[in-house]
């Protein structure tokens, strides 16, 4: 039970990637007033959670309608997660979440809470596939409750992170700047050991 819970929470958090999506959220919501931003974020997170919960509850039924086997869906979900993992290792933003054309389209829309914030940024194809794959692994009601709890947790965490996206972006920028300076200091020290006595 604990292993399943850990797997579900990690998978849903990794695929929804709230921290990694901060720059996109910040850029898309930059031109909105604070109260508009908060309303858009709240609506986007609620819709994202509802969509993922719907697929968690109806996943098996949807698979049956389209004649998709559980094995095929597990393979597809695994390949999507593997692709995202490779993008993370290569420090690239996954296109499973959000394409450049969708970002441009979002900047000219008035209400962007449903598309593209909720779909595909929070509950994109990768997140839906992950939730449905987890559902196929659920052996009882407790497992299903764990999946829904993971979705709710990811939605709540996304709301908090996106609510403070501007401040987080500044903090991440500061941390990155400090790391960059430390790299330079270490590089200079390694390159000129006779000057620094090491």
Q: For position 177, what pLDDT does the model report?
A: 86
Average pLDDT, the chain: 84
Whether the per-residue pLDDT at 93 is higher than 60: the answer is no
Residues 114-147 have pLDDT tens digits of 988 898 889 988 898 899 889 988 999 999 999 9
Give the Å distances, CA to CA, from 144 to 60, 98, 105, 129: 12, 28, 36, 15
Residue 114 CB contacts under 8 Å (≥ 6 apart), including other chains: 43, 44, 47
Q: 77 falls in which pLDDT band (50, 70, 90)?
A: low
Better-scored residue on pLDDT, 21 or 69: 21
Task: Tell me how crowded residue 178 is: count the other CB atoms within 10 A of its CB.
Answer: 10
Whether the per-residue pLDDT at 88 is higher than 80: the answer is no
Containing 161, the helix (H) or strand (E) segment is helix 141-163
* Residue 162, preceding peptide bond in cis (omega within 30° of 0): no
User: So where are the chain's domains?
Assistant: 2-163, 167-198
Q: For position 96, what pLDDT does the model report?
A: 47
Average pLDDT over residues 31-58: 94
């Amino acid at each position: 039970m604990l292993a399943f819970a850990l797997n579900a929470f990690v998978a849903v958090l990794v695929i929804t990637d709230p921290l990694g999506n901060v720059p996109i959220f910040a850029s898309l919501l930059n031109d909105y007033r604070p109260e508009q931003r908060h309303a858009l974020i709240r609506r986007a997170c609620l819709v994202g959670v509802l969509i993922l919960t719907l697929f968690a509850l109806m996943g098996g039924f949807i698979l049956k309608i389209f004649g998709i086997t559980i094995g095929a869906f597990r393979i597809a979900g695994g390949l999507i997660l593997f692709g995202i993992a490779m993008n993370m290792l290569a420090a690239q933003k996954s296109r499973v979440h959000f394409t450049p054309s969708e970002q441009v389209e979002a900047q000219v829309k008035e209400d962007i809470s449903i598309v593209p914030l909720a779909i595909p940024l929070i509950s994109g194809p990768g997140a839906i596939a992950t939730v449905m794959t987890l559902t196929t692994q659920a052996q009882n009601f407790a497992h299903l409750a764990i999946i829904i709890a993971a979705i709710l947790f990811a939605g709540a965490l996304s709301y908090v992170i996106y609510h403070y996206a501007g401040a987080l972006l500044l903090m991440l920028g500061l941390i990155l700047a400090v790391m960059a300076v430390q790299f330079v200091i270490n590089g200079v020290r390694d390159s000129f050991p006779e000057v620094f006595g090491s």
